[in-house]
Structure 1
């Protein structure tokens, strides 16, 4: 299979990162390597605006180490991008020429617009969010964007970041309270320079970068969050404010003990979270959402989608489901028929569901669950249910909220109510009893749909109109060939559905004319 590999080096103001991606001719992509070094390049900008000799040495040494990895793995394509610290350095052109001569690398210094644009691009290609504000807090700049209907409307790059704000307000003072208040006043003043921030109140704020990630990890540890992953992790605004207050009242030593906070961000986390808290408050957002995808991912998406003459996936969930099903060798033709049967079963049996629910949402969950139904079989067929649930609660499905991903995990792994309740134990704080009742109903429908294609030959072609006869539901099943094995499996597994709706079900097999 033909595969294309290329590397992206992101020269941030706080850290440098090398990511190596692989893309095959089917459009399936995979991250092969990811390396990070803390450079703190912003701290090496001198008063005269030049990057110091020590800073230049860090650039050269770090890129040399990255080049050794790239050369070893024989990566044919390389993109090197640099952000605020390099953009501000008066000697940037000299540094670029020096690196070109020494290492053969061409450094592309992003404009303020480009830095904001790639952050926005990462979010609209990896989440299901149509409208929102993005905030990307780097070491030396902060990018804010507003997007509507997945289209960039406004952007701005502020010439301050987590490192430069720490230098400005905290490095030369011993009075923490005064420094915090001065920081708060300064940031509020900056928001007022952008009238468009007040034009779309209540849009969510989506955060990019290491400081946003640390905020999310701190919150997850505080609430003992049971689901893996931070992409599209949501924090209510009041809890953002609470963590912000907590950080501002602690010393550096105390912050170093906070679970979820990286040691290299103990100092700069205070101004960074104040930025997040302040923008959430200013635009009256109800929640903050974390995006694991950021600047370099935006660059990656642009490269990936060039051949399609676009820079946005038409449907993020569909694209990510394609990536997952390709990785686990799931046959799309097979799961499409399972999905079709599940839709038909739901249409006939939803009036008998014992839990109130949104039908549109239920159909969406069934369709998604069919795509990854018993995906754990690829690991071990004897424990496919357990493996399916584990996989789906421990991988990111871009475009799905955490609640949607958990719902899909329950439905696509469904074996029995008792088994589901065992799976639910660690998640009991974030799912309701009515949620579990719905998952039981949808999961048992999915299990029956799976049974009706036991031989994977599409024997059952249609589900007929359900009727009631002597306290029993009669469900017509139209077949094109002998459904012997489908009938055995369906009779065995219909019990779970009968328990869910508290109704007896009788199958009525009819030949397709």
Structure 2
């Protein structure tokens, strides 16, 4: 089915159209975004200015035009903190609902945090930790244990809301707000939101990591502290010139970096795993629990073939190693690309890993799978092996690649027979 989710945020409005598969996984078909900044300068009880409302209406008119041009099975629309703060939030909600001909639902801070955590849980293999989403007007924090959302906190601190404050005042504001909640410390944090992803893109480009996606990327607390010191000292033009930072993000990336840095310090300096997915995907996948095998299935569904899990099971039984799951995943992906028609499915697998998003896995796991695919072609770059956060050697990768190649050759012969 085709589903659309519209997120009316404090800073930006975004509509994403998804293809949803029978196992609950999805892929984004396209999106439209506008930095409405409907909450800019808004204090609790204030009225959203008419010029902001009109900009929101123009954005919804564009969304409606897009929806009219495609066959969408369902549309889900949620509005967040600005609508909760404003005295005319419900009036604006009704005006926008009329344009889109679907109900705009204003969600609570707890709902927002739960949806964000669910979107991250369903797309990353991390069952425990602190999951947070930083928006323009608020920060949602969820405590997660064994894949279950235990508690959600919502704080009125956001990148746009605090953008005009100097670094010291931002830190004090964040520290004061965090002191009002009782939250456990965490060994790992998972973060989402446009500014969080922008920080990861900046770090990924500076580190020359051989992928384009930041989903599952580990951003160290040390690096975040560096950015939180550097970015507030730069003007908008200088921030725009940095790799991975768009013109629109340059306005808020510095305040966001300080908020994230202060949050991490409050929680004992944990490193952060970055999620490409969050609240919108939580709204989309509500009621479902997705894991790595579901997302491997999604690659098959995306290519209009049934998942060939026979080869996965064969390789799992053949490889006696802690890396057996990743070798089997490489074989499965390579076979999918072979079935699609690629002459060299191993290179196709590696290019897919470099250029696309594989939900369900951390970026280190994705890189490992990609390098095993590359090794199946007979070579692997030593500099890429060094990027793996593990003790695997180039020799091991080449041996795993050979297993993948032989398994595909055996499969092709079996099909011909």
Answer yes or no: same fold by TM over 0.5: yes
Cα distance between partner residues in 2 of 1:52 and 1:239: 38
1:218 aligns with 2:190: no
Structure 1: state its 5+ residue gaps.
170-178, 303-309, 348-358, 458-484, 487-513
- Separation (CA, whole Å) in 1 of partners of 2:72 and 2:139: 32
Q: What is the number of equivalent residue pairs in this alignment?
A: 416
Alpha-carbon shift at residue 200 of structure 1 (Å):
3.1
1:240/1:288 contact within 8 Å kept:
no
Q: 1:389 aligns with which of 350, 353, 362?
A: 350
Counterpart in the other structure of 1:467: none
Task: Trace 1:50-69 onto structure 2 (pairs within 5 A).
Answer: 50-69=47-66
Query: Residue 254 of structure 1: CA displacement?
Result: 2.2
Q: Secondary structure at the match of 1:155?
A: strand
| Closer/same/farther in 2, CA of residues 104 and 385 from structure 1, 3 Å limit | closer
CA deviations over 1:227-271 (Å, ceiling 9, x no partner): 221101111111111111111222333222222112112232122
* TM alignment of 1:93-492, pairs within 5 A: 93-167=90-164, 169=165, 179-196=166-183, 199-202=184-187, 204-302=188-286, 310-313=287-290, 316-329=291-304, 332-333=307-308, 335-336=309-310, 338-347=311-320, 359=321, 361-378=322-339, 380-415=341-376, 419-421=378-380, 424=381, 427=384, 429-431=386-388, 434-456=392-414
Give the secondary-structure state (helix, strand or coil) at the position aligned to 1:80. Answer: strand
Q: Whole-Å Cα distance in 2 between the matches of residues 34 and 75 of structure 1?
A: 13
**Preserved CA contact (<8 Å) 1:211 1:269:** yes
Question: Rg: which structure is higher?
Answer: 1
Distance 1:398 1:435, change over 3 A: farther
Instruction: Check whether the contact 2:376–2:400 (CA below 8 A) recurs between aligned residues.
Output: no
1:341: how far off?
A: 3.9
RMSD between aligned alpha carbons?
2.4
Using the TM superposition, give the Cα deviation of residue 440 of structure 1 relative to its aligned residue in structure 2, in angstroms.
1.2
| Contact residue 382 and residue 394 of structure 2 kept, 8 A | no
Q: Could you say which structure has the greater relative contact order, defined with CA pairs below 8 angstroms and 6 or more residues apart?
A: 2
Task: Give SS of 2:360's match.
Answer: coil
Please give the secondary structure, in 2, of the residue aligned with 1:165: coil
For 1:479, the equivalent position in structure 2 comes to none
1:93 Cα offset (Å): 2.2
In structure 2, what is the Cα distance between the partners aligned to 1:331 and 1:134?
33
Alpha-carbon distance, 1:97 to partner: 3.0
TM-score (normalised: structure 1) = 0.75
- Change beyond 3 A, Cα 1:93–1:186: closer
Partner-residue secondary structure (3-state), 1:41: coil
Task: Confirm or deny: 8 A CA contact 2:25 2:295 kept in the other structure.
Answer: no
Is the CA contact (8 Å cut-off) linking 1:140 and 1:160 kept in structure 2? yes
Instruction: Provide the secondary structure at the position in 1 that maps to 2:251.
Output: coil
| CA shift in 2, pair 1:102/1:180, >3 Å | closer
Give the distance between the partners of 2:276 and 2:405, measured in 1 at CA. 33
Structure 1 residues 239, 453: CA separation in 2 closer, same or farther (over 3 Å shift)?
same
- What 5-or-longer segments of structure 2 have no aligned partner? none
CA distance in 2, matches of 1:296, 1:277: 24
Q: TM-score, normalised by structure 2?
A: 0.92
SS of the counterpart of 2:87? coil
